[in-house]
Amino acid sequence: MHLSLSPDQTALRDAVARLYTKEAHPERVREAESAADGIDRNLWQAIVQMGLPTMGVAEALGGGGASLVDLAVVAEQHGAHLAPAPLLDTMVAARALAGTEAGAPLVARLADGEIGALALRPARDHVATLVPAGAAANVVVALDGDRLVTATPDEPPPRRRTMHKGPVADVDLTGATVLAEGDEARRLFDRAVDEWRTLVAAAQAGLARAALDIGVAYVKDRHQFGVPIGSFQSVQHRLADLHTAVDGARLLAYEAAWAADRGEPGASALAAQASWFCGQTADDATEASLHYHGGYGFMEEYDIQLYVRRAKAWRLLLGDPRRELQTIAERRWVSPPPAPPRPAEAQGTEGGTPEGRPADDEPAGMDFSFDAETLALQQEMRQFLAENLTPDIIERALSTGTMHDWGLHKKLAERGYLSAGWPKEVGGRGLSAVTTTALIQELFRAGAPVDGLAIVAMVGATLLLRGNEQQRTEILPRILSGEVMCCLGYTEPDSGSDVAAAQTRAERIGEGPDAEWVINGQKMFTTLAHEASYVFLLTRTDPTAPKHRGLTMFLVPMDTPGIEITPVHTLGGERTNITFYNDVRVPDSCRVGEVNDGWSVMHAALVYERNSSNWGEPAHLVESAVRWAATTQSDGTRPLDDPITRERLARWDTLVEVGRLLLYRSAWMAASGALPQVEGSMAKLFLTETFVRAANDLVDLAGTEGLLPRHEEGAVLNGLLEHGVRHAVVTTIYGGSSEIQREIVAQRGLGLPRGR
């Protein structure tokens, strides 16, 4: 997995950005909208001189031999700068022509500066309607009946008036040259439309980012009530959601391009998913940025309205966006198309090996696949779960609410999964963050009761880094062997996500080796306290110091006199606890780190922290709902045959995929040596919010039977959807609520000012 551009792609991006910055500024965009054909001819000539229109065609045909990912790099900049030139249309037309014997000679005309276009919908009565770039095109590729044809009009047809003032026209196909017929014609046409989908998706991602940047800059500068409006929480939260979605859109667009280049089985579905999600995100980002401009946003002299119109137009050129959801469902579950062959024009362009892998140490650019080790360990984990995760274990966890099983936990410890991401020199397996994330997601996806896994791994890492000799030599080995469990004593009734506001007091009695500490206070949500041997306890030891500086950490045995545990049963069925500490006396050897340095001790394990955002559960929920929908019900119907059902499932399947990409982006960054705090918050925010909305919508889809819980006769998926509604909401709270994640994304990711 590699989620950044290669050096060559970075150079290409920068070169195109420089060109567009110089030649496609907003005033030039406005001038092009007023031109007869809707394009900027000077910009087009500069684009042609760079060789961009045919860069995706094989070198043997006079092109640049670039991959679809390379073209997506260009498309992203094209969208970000609202370039008023039909580059994407010509790129797609050139590749379509290059794939046929009769069309190949026309590629040279496009390389010399003529304009190409693709009719996105089959012709009616030999007329292709509302063709993007049709008003400027010299070569038009279209599907006319069962024939793929190309028309080369002497003069481009009249421009149709549209909201975005682009070069849209109806094209008469009478006398057009036949390129292919029958199934081959449909295959070539479908591939061309998918490439248009993918490139426009990348352009929409670039457009969304540019529009969002305009909005963010405006809310930083615009003052109301004496403060920047960007300091208002409602503004910050919406922009944080958009920032997250735009990042996800970009990843999805590139994944679709990568999958097409490699001939992945799901490439066609990803193209439709990217088209729908990137279009939706561009709509949302431009609308929000315009909204935050207030009345000024509607004035034509402000640039943001240009982005609003372009975003909407690109999305509608393919038709009703909701139909893309139907296309996704068709390609994912109803009639999945065969894996496309890797386009001949892209062969040998991704780094020098037959598989498209980089030669030697050359960076390959975007690669969304797992390496061989991760795939092997992922299969290892699946085999482990098949052998060790029994229905009885899951049933016992769900019925008791204790998401922990000692037998399973010890077997996970025996395999080294508790310290999988630690370096080998300190007793770990040395696995990358991507690999450990993949293993954790397999556990989540299978519904394994492993609430304690992340806790003991984190506590163990903290003891390894900051613990004393006794803790490292006596307690740590017992933790890693699975013999003992730990719980976290962080949250208090009045502090919630503000952990540093802890008021549980620890007072030292005596000095030197005989010193003791007396602890009094209360902790909320000490999950697994009733199973744990130790609580990793955050206390206040200096009430006069700033709240982050007067804290000290302790590892306290749970059998110490004065500790009381009260169970708390939750909406989701899980058990957590309130723990009370009444004159709990512990020796100074229970202290972890220095006195009043508890805040840094609590964060010490970030060195080995692995992203534990939960993609596995929402993925399992959606996959299970699809399986149910594809099954004939007692009334003889099959829910998947209903277009409304398909639309809903496709929506959540797409959003879960975006969440997966955000999650693995964060893991990849960690594996590369970065500390992806903002990116981790994005993944957590997007996945948990998607989980909640998906669970609620899918239980609605099940209807009245969706109300039935586990073991109730007629319960859909044995109550999985019903349980999902009750359980999903808590995932937006623990580990930092969605509001906290939004503040991190807004203030640290977008640089918005803190509120008063």
- Nearest Cα to Cα of residue 608 among 543, 673, 527: 673
Give every CB contact of residue 399 below 8 A, 6+ residues apart in sequence.
none
d(CA 725, CA 732) in angstroms, rounded, equals 12
Q: Residue 75 and residue 368: Cα distance in Å, rounded?
A: 19
Question: Please, what sign has the CA dihedral across residues 704, 706, 708, 714?
Answer: positive
**CA–CA separation, 392 vs 378, rounded Å?**
23
Q: Are 571 and 726 in contact (CB under 8 A)?
A: yes
- Whether 553 contacts 504, CB under 8 Å: no
Q: Greatest CA separation found in the chain?
A: 99
- Please choose, from the candidates 296, 319, 348, 321, the residue with its C-alpha nearest in 3D space to the C-alpha of residue 65: 348
Whether residue 574 lies in the annotated active site? no
- In the numeric block, the tokens 């919908």 are attached to 121
**Which is catalytic among the residues 609, 679, 689, 722?**
609
CA distance 158 to 553: 74
Q: Tell me the one-letter amino acid at 53.
A: P
Q: Which two tokens stand for residue 493?
A: 């009734």
Spatial separation of the C-alpha atoms in residues 81 and 314, rounded to whole Å: 14
Q: Is the dihedral of CA 45, 50, 51, 56 positive or negative?
A: negative
Query: Measured between alpha carbons, how far is 702 from 155 in angstroms, rounded to an integer?
Result: 56
Q: How far apart are CA 99 and CA 240, in angstroms?
A: 43
Calpha distance 508→33 (Å, rounded): 75
One DSSP character per residue, 661-687 reads HHHHHHHHHHHTT---HHHHHHHHHHH
Q: Which helix (H) or strand (E) holds 520?
A: strand 516-523
State whether the Cα torsion 738-744-746-747 is positive or negative.
positive
Separation between Cα atoms, residue 85 and residue 94, nearest integer Å: 15
- Cβ proximity of 542 and 596 under 8 Å: yes
* Among 91, 86, 79, residue whose Cα is nearest residue 32: 86
Give me the DSSP letters along 480-492: HTTS--EEEE---
Contact in structure between 245 and 685 (CB atoms under 8 Å): no
Cα three-residue angle 128-134-138, rounded to 5 degrees:
110
**Torsion of the alpha carbons at 509, 510, 511 and 514, rounded to the nearest 10:** -100
Helix, strand, coil % (nearest 5) of the chain? 55, 10, 35
Residue reference for tokens 């929409």:
204
Q: Which runs of consecutive H residues, i.e. helices, occur in 164-266?
A: 182-221, 233-262
Tokens describing residue 522: 């209360």
713 phi/psi in degrees, rounded to 5: -55, 130
3-state secondary structure 351-378: CECCCCCECCCCCCCCECCCCHHHHHHH
Give me the residue label for tokens 């094989």.
Answer: 58
Instruction: Indicate which residues carry an active-site annotation.
Output: 609
